[in-house]
Amino acid sequence: MRNFNSIKKNSDFQKVYKTGKSYANKLLIMYVMKKESPDRRIGISVSKKVGNSIVRHHITRLIREIFRLNENMLETGLDIIVVARPAAKDQDYKTIESAFMHLCGLHNIKKGIEVILFW
């Protein structure tokens, strides 16, 4: 397992909360802050309102996997914080992935897809 690039310090979380832009849907809240360095970092927050520790860790693992699989579709130089809402505990992977990608679209952090035509 490779080392995962994540936001761990409370001060980094607070900086993104205060200076980043946020959008939300029924399942997730996403805060995004652009930065100078070219790497992408993610922070995941799941409160006790969502469920017990098993449920919270399950949702955290789902969001981390969604980020890992779709990381190449996102712009570089971003700090992203994803906050799970209580409605997320009853959803499956595809629904949470759809909510995550919807928020990425609202933030305009998806890379443009280039279409190459061969004649």
What per-residue confidence (pLDDT) applies to 37? 86
What is the distance between the alpha carbons of residues 36 and 24, in angstroms, rounded to a whole number?
Answer: 25
The owner of tokens 């959803």 is 91
44 CB contacts (<8 Å, ≥6 apart)? 6, 60, 63, 64, 81, 82, 84
Question: What integer best gives the mean pLDDT of the chain?
Answer: 90
Predicted confidence at residue 5, as pLDDT, reads: 83
pLDDT tens track for 67-79: 999 988 899 999 9
Q: In this predicted structure, what is the pLDDT of residue 32?
A: 96
Measuring CA to CA, which residue among 66, 62, 59 is closest to residue 104? Answer: 66
Q: Where are the domains of the chain?
A: 10-107
pTM comes to: 0.87
Spatial contact of 106 and 35, defined as CB atoms under 8 Å apart: no
CATH class of the 10-107 domain in this structure: alpha beta
What tokens appear for 31 in the block?
Answer: 């805060």
